[in-house]
Amino acid sequence: MSHQNEWGQPIDFPVKGWQPPPAPEGKRLEGKFCSLEPLTEKHAPDLFTANSLDDGQMWTYMSYGPFETLQDYQQWLKRVTGGSDPLFYAILSEEQKAVGVASYLRIVPLSGSIEVGHIAYSPLLQKTTAATEAMFLMMRHAFELGYRRYEWKCDALNAGSRRAAERLGFVFEGIFRQATVYKGRNRDTAWFAVVDKDWPRLEAVFHAWLRPDNFDVEGRQKQRLNDFIEGDR
């Protein structure tokens, strides 16, 4: 629906009663297959062990890593923990072992925008139900706090990250050319987002996918998340 001001110029829709949401405070997020808690140095040994199962590919599109020793990883972790932006989480398995990392970042309460990033999934977490649920839990928490826009950005050449964003219901918004330099090379950045008007439908999709009857006795999905998303469109 279009709107006009008193001069007949087109303007966007009003946001009535808008109040900036609070910044996330590192609340523990509980799911069926995983949980998330603020990342601390105590998680370093489990994460380093889990990450060591990877041959280095998981770090290709990160601005840091791989880490050769536990001490190297501990030093990096010490630098990034304790802040509010980025706000890092450890992703814990059902056995309460840290198997991955993700964060909120570029948190702008004034405009209601927040990004998910620094996603480093070890081989123990990759391609699991917990991997998807972790992203759902972070997205849900952001919208419950009152954010209007939830962003995902990645190297435009990172096909895996782009597929993941689309699988999770993010909408592709375009490429920012020569957005930054990392590891001595250029990065064009692909932008994706979910906005608040998308969220009720998408939340229902996640709940449907996570239903116990969508998984067999060995925990394998019967219907893919994409099937639910496509079926809801």
pLDDT tens by residue, 34-62? 999 999 999 999 999 999 999 999 999 99
Q: How confident is the model at residue 144 (pLDDT cuts 50, 70, 90)?
A: very high
Q: What pLDDT sits at residue 71? A: 97
**Average of per-residue pLDDT across 3-21:** 91
Q: Enumerate the domain spans of the chain.
A: 19-232
138: nearest Cα among 172, 101, 96: 101
Residue 102 clears pLDDT 90, i.e. is over it: yes
Residues in contact with 62: Cβ distance below 8 Å, sequence separation at least 6, in sequence order: 118, 120
What is the spatial distance between Cα 151 and Cα 113, in angstroms, rounded to a whole number?
Answer: 8
* Residues 191, 171: Cα–Cα separation, whole Å: 8
Instruction: Calculate mean pLDDT across residues 108-127.
Output: 97
> How far is 209 from 222, CA to CA, in rounded Å?
9
Mean pLDDT across 132-154: 98
Q: What is the pLDDT of residue 229?
A: 77
Residues in Cβ contact with 149 at an 8 Å cutoff, skipping those fewer than 6 apart: 111, 112, 113, 114, 193, 194, 195, 196
CATH number 3.40.50.10070 is the correct assignment for the domain at 19-232 = no
